[in-house]
Structure 1
Amino acid sequence: MLKVLEATGENRDAAIENALRQLGMDRDDVSVEVLDNGKRGFLGIGATPARVRVSYEGPDEPVQKSAPAPVEKKAEKPVQKPAPRPAPTEKLSITTEDTTPRLVKPAPKDFVPQKLDGERPPRRERTERTDRPARTDRPRREGSRPRRERIERPITPSVPKEREIIPVSEAAMKQAEELAINFVGGLLHKMGIENEITVLPQVEADQLRLNIAGPDMGPVIGRRGDTLDAIQYLGSLVLNNALEEHVRLSVDTENYREKRSESLERLARKMAMKVVKSHRSMTLEPMNPYERRIIHAALQDFNGVTTYSTGTEPGRRVVIAPENGYRSHH
């Protein structure tokens, strides 16, 4: 006769062990159906026990007769052990088919659950094997593709690559000088600024350098060189729209470019020392591409830091970060 017993436990395996202990059977003698895997809950709140249903073959129950036939010798009745009284903390699980109360006890600490049909066994801790040969020593199957080695790519700053210098012909440079002087002089005249423009000696083969002199060059420089940069930018547009060859224009006054470069280099080294000490990234104020290149170049060989640019123009900034790649903005 097929009988059914339901049991509960802290988890699925504990519930199965409780049922087997109640029946006094082995795992191979019963069939298990998991009704509820249970929940652990958070800090014991909302936890529910696991519940399983165990089916097993039990002896047929004797059919009561109206008048049992007399026998010469009474059959010995099997001695039944009295059911143990449940402890106050133990739970009773009663099924609909078998009304006998069953004790549900917690699983022992040294209990090892057995593998159920169609269920995964508990995961074992992985142990390192010393007798296994290295993967590189294994023979590779014929026709298999070679494994690509994983390359750790370090974080590199967005320093501009070396610019390719294309020499400008002498005729194009002469034409550029005339166009630039006329444009910059006319622009300053419209601004009401008295000026004198001279051409500085050529340093690079594609660059035209102009210097503006006058009694008051403060308005020409502007706040942090903004006005001077704008004059240089507009002059570059005029040259490259009129000429077939590319000419880089540099406009300076009162040696502002060199002084600004030295100031930025000092700022870069000062901030880099703070980054090394605090191990935290520092973000500088927005700068134009020329000034950002000065910062990158000044810290290119500075031990312990790396630089990169972030944001969009005109608010693009230079970030000085620890060399290990930790980019937490300050």
Structure 2
Amino acid sequence: MSNYKGWTVSEAIENGLTAMHKTRDDVRVTVITTGKKGFLGIGKKQAEVKIKLDPKSKKKKRVTDGHQETRQNIQEKQTRKDRPKKNTSDEKDMVIRQLGYYLADITEQMGIKASISVDFESRNVVYNFNTKQEGTLIGKHGRILNALQVLAQNYLEQRNFAKLRLMLNVGEYREKRQKTLERLAQNVARDAIEQQKAVHLDAMPSFERKIIHASLAHDKQVKTYSHGREPRRYVIVEPVS
């Protein structure tokens, strides 16, 4: 007998069944608390359930018309099982909400009081943090915010929503950062041309490297490329000889 948690009762039960490697028919469930939803911010509470094995449940052998399943039937079922599932709109909405709760938990544990709103359209999802502790949440050169974004992206990947384009923002930091990176790209290109040597930039997340590449894409006097491995991958700006 064990307790399991989730952002909904259904999720708590699913977490328990996954951990126990059982189906719903194999267990008895007692709901301890249904949790508290909140809205993408502090104050939400997870649902909690107690799950124990049902002594009346019996494992059934796979049979087909009184005979063991043929190899072909088993392979067909395995093929259907392995076929990737299509994410529905409801599933996407649920994962987006759950990620908001996840980010709120992290910021709360960091000692940061923040409320979070989310804007999403098609594949674009933006979480906006409203807090009086912007500097603490952003970090030097956005390192804390970028680290949170990596965690958020990993969260989506684990739930098969890696194709969503994710962005975490605090105030207008991302917009200001883009302008800063665009100015940096122009300055570095000028230095590379004057000195006739490659200039290496500091390590950046992929979405910031894209800003550098895009800013210099039409400059025929320099070329840009990324080098290194994540999370220490960086941009090199090199004059065209």
Range of TM-score over shorter length: 0.5 to 0.7
Distance 1:314 1:183 in 2: 22
Partner of 1:235: 152
TM-score using structure 1 length? 0.44
Partner of 1:253: 170
Work out whether 1:197 is the aligned partner of 2:116: yes
Asked if the contact 2:119/2:126 (under 8 Å) is kept, the reply is yes
The superposition leaves residues 80-137 of structure 1 with CA deviations (integer Å, 9 ceiling, x where unpaired) of xxxxxxxxxxxxxxxxxxxxxxxxxxxxxxxxxxxxxxxxxxxxxxxxxxxxxxxxxx
Partner of 2:140: 223
Larger radius of gyration: 1
Distance 1:221 1:275, change over 3 A: same
Work out whether 1:302 is the aligned partner of 2:236: no
Distance 2:161 2:222 in 1: 42
For structure 2, list consecutive stretches of 5 or more residues without a partner in the other structure: 1-85
Work out whether 1:277 is the aligned partner of 2:189: no
Partner of 1:292: 209
Distance 1:304 1:169 in 2: 47
Distance 1:244 1:293 in 2: 21
Distance 1:274 1:190, change over 3 A: same
The superposition leaves residues 141-172 of structure 1 with CA deviations (integer Å, 9 ceiling, x where unpaired) of xxxxxxxxxxxxxxxxxxxxxxxxxx975323
Q: 1 or 2, which has the higher helix percentage?
A: 2
Distance 1:250 1:174 in 2: 16
Distance 2:234 2:161 in 1: 33
For structure 1, list consecutive stretches of 5 or more residues without a partner in the other structure: 1-166, 325-330
Work out whether 1:175 is the aligned partner of 2:94: yes
> What's the offset of the Cα at 1:278?
2.6
Partner of 1:110: none
Distance 1:244 1:293, change over 3 A: closer
The superposition leaves residues 277-316 of structure 1 with CA deviations (integer Å, 9 ceiling, x where unpaired) of 2322211122222211111111000121111122233332
Asked if the contact 2:156/2:162 (under 8 Å) is kept, the reply is no
SS of 1:268's equivalent in the other structure is helix
Distance 2:201 2:115 in 1: 35
Root-mean-square deviation over aligned CA pairs:
2.1
Work out whether 1:323 is the aligned partner of 2:223: no
Distance 1:246 1:273, change over 3 A: closer
The superposition leaves residues 164-221 of structure 1 with CA deviations (integer Å, 9 ceiling, x where unpaired) of xxx975323311221111101111111121111001253xx32211100011111111
Query: What is the percentage of aligned positions where both structures have the same residue?
Result: 30
Q: How many residues are paired up?
A: 156
TM-score using structure 2 length? 0.59
> What's the offset of the Cα at 1:266?
0.3
Partner of 2:230: 313
Partner of 2:180: 263
Distance 1:168 1:246, change over 3 A: farther
The superposition leaves residues 9-67 of structure 1 with CA deviations (integer Å, 9 ceiling, x where unpaired) of xxxxxxxxxxxxxxxxxxxxxxxxxxxxxxxxxxxxxxxxxxxxxxxxxxxxxxxxxxx
> What's the offset of the Cα at 1:246?
3.7
Partner of 1:186: 105
Distance 2:234 2:208 in 1: 10
Matches within 5 A, 1:1-330: 169-202=88-121, 205-243=122-160, 246-324=163-241
Asked if the contact 1:176/1:243 (under 8 Å) is kept, the reply is no
Distance 1:261 1:244 in 2: 26
Distance 2:222 2:161 in 1: 42
Q: 1 or 2, which has the higher strand percentage?
A: 2
Q: Partner letter of residue 216 of structure 1?
A: Q
Q: Partner letter of residue 309 of structure 1?
A: S
